[in-house]
Chain A
């Protein structure tokens, strides 16, 4: 069965810490792996990864995909309180690029 597993489920850190969020997946018709950030309402897009070993970077956030091990990580360096959110991992598959999501990682950054 196709699925996405994220770990840890929740994480509490202090400002300035570096965090690594994990996402493993099993899918038969893989197109890409996506990361979203969800604060109060709608998820906002962070990264889309299609190739192994190529790091995507945006400011303090970065992500990489391992298609052989079916794994992705999201790194956040020098965390800030504004990074507190649920981070969602999803894979895209099928002709309509449907998304299958994991349960998310709840990140709390304390001042």
Chain B
């Protein structure tokens, strides 16, 4: 079966510090991977998605970047955090697992980021 991991679970960072959030997926190969951010009391906003190694598409201009160095690894980064980067960051995957193709996205446990 497929599982998706994110770490860290919570993070408190000062303004201007760098950021690296990691997401890994097990039990699937060549999945689509996605990064979303959820502000308090709001819906999810798509930040980046990737359909393969090294392929990154950005949905909104911002202070963040993403990379996919391996098939099942997706990294969200920032060189200098802003207050507005605070939120709940969710990674998701879509694809094939155990011979079954899934057209719905499955989400990881998320990272709650607070920028002070």
B49 touches A88 (CB 8 A): no
CB of B32 within 8 A of CB of A42, answer: no
Q: Are A101 and B107 in contact (CB under 8 A)?
A: no
Of B36, B51, B104, B107, the residue contacting A48 (CB under 8 A) is B104
Give A85 to B34 CA distance when docked, in angstroms: 23
CB atoms of B42 and A103 under 8 A apart: yes
Query: Is the beta-carbon distance between B107 and A42 smaller than 8 angstroms?
Result: yes
**From residue A44, how far is it (CB to closest CB) to chain B in Å?**
8
Instruction: Decide: A98 near B59, CB < 8 A? Known: A42-B90, A45-B106, A48-B104.
Output: yes
A/B pair count, beta carbons within 8 Å: 57
State in angstroms the CA–CA spacing of A48 and B79 once bound together.
Answer: 37
Which residue of chain B has its CB nearest to the CB of A6? B43
Shortest CB-to-CB span from A106 to chain B, Å, is: 8
Contact, CB under 8 Å: B105 / A88: no
Known contacts A41-B110, A97-B94, A92 near B103 by CB under 8 Å = yes
User: For the complex, would chain B's binding face be called helix, strand, loop or mixed by DSSP majority?
Assistant: strand
Chain B residues 91-110 with CB under 8 Å of chain A are 92, 94, 103-110
Contact indicator per residue, chain B 74-94, by CB within 8 Å of chain A (1) or not (0): 000000000000000010101
Residues of chain B at interface, number, CB under 8 A? 23
Bound state CA distance, A44 and B4, in angstroms? 13
Q: Cβ of B104: which chain A residues have Cβ within 8 Å of it? A: 34, 45, 48
| B43–A42 CB distance below 8 A | no
Q: Is A96 touching B32 in the complex (CB atoms < 8 A)?
A: yes
Please name all residues of chain B whose beta carbon is closer than 8 Å to the beta carbon of A90 when the two chains form the complex. 43-44
Chain B nearest Cβ from A8, distance in angstroms: 14
Whether the Cβ atoms of A42 and B109 lie closer than 8 Å is yes
Q: Name the A residues within 8 Å of B49 (CB-CB).
A: 96, 98
* Shortest distance between the CB of B94 and any CB in chain A (Å): 6
The smallest beta-carbon distance between A87 and chain B, in angstroms, is 11
Say yes or no: is B115 at the interface (Cβ < 8 Å to chain A): no
Ranked nearest first, the 5 interchain pairs of A and B with the lowest CB-CB distance are A101-B43, A42-B107, A101-B44, A103-B43, A48-B104
B-to-A contact residues, CB < 8 Å = 32, 34, 36, 42-46, 49, 51, 57, 59, 90, 92, 94, 103-110
